[in-house]
Amino acid sequence: MAGALVGPATLAVVLGLLVPLAILFRYSLNRFVPGRLMVDALTVENYVKFFTDPYYMAVLVRTLRVSAVCMVLCLVMGFPLAYALARTRSRWKSAVVMLVVLPLFVGNAVRAAGWMVMFGSRGLLNTLLGVVGLIDHPLQLMYTEAAVIVGITAVNLPFMVLTLESVVEGIDPAIEEAAASLGARPLQVFRRVILPLAMPGVLAGTILVFILGMNAYATPILLGGPRFQMMGPLVYGQFAGLNNWPFGAALSFVLMAATLSLSAVSNLLIQRRYRR
Angle at 117 between CA 58 and CA 217, to 5 degrees: 35
CA dist., res. 82 & res. 86, Å (int): 6
CA dist., res. 136 & res. 157, Å (int): 33
Q: How far is the CB of 267 from another protein (least distance, A)?
A: 11
CA dist., res. 134 & res. 142, Å (int): 18
Nearer to another protein, 56 or 159 (CB): 159
Backbone CA torsion sign across 190, 194, 195, 201: negative
Which residues, 6 or more positions from 53, have their beta carbon under 8 angstroms from its beta carbon? Answer: none
CA dist., res. 170 & res. 191, Å (int): 17
Q: How far is the CB of 105 from another protein (least distance, A)?
A: 5
Q: How far is the CB of 48 from another protein (least distance, A)?
A: 20
Classify residue 198 as exposed, middle or buried by CB count within 10 Å of its CB (0-12, 13-18, 19+): buried
Q: How far is the CB of 166 from another protein (least distance, A)?
A: 8
Nearer to another protein, 144 or 259 (CB): 259
Secondary structure (3-state) at 6 = helix
Nearer to another protein, 165 or 197 (CB): 165
Q: How far is the CB of 155 from another protein (least distance, A)?
A: 9
Backbone CA torsion sign across 63, 66, 68, 74: negative
Amino acid 232 reads G
Nearer to another protein, 103 or 200 (CB): 103
> Are residues 31 and 38 in contact, defined by beta-carbon separation less than 8 angstroms?
yes
> Are residues 147 and 224 in contact, defined by beta-carbon separation less than 8 angstroms?
yes
Nearer to another protein, 78 or 201 (CB): 78
Q: How far is the CB of 71 from another protein (least distance, A)?
A: 15
Nearer to another protein, 197 or 224 (CB): 224
Q: How far is the CB of 19 from another protein (least distance, A)?
A: 7
Nearer to another protein, 45 or 103 (CB): 103
Amino acid 125 reads L
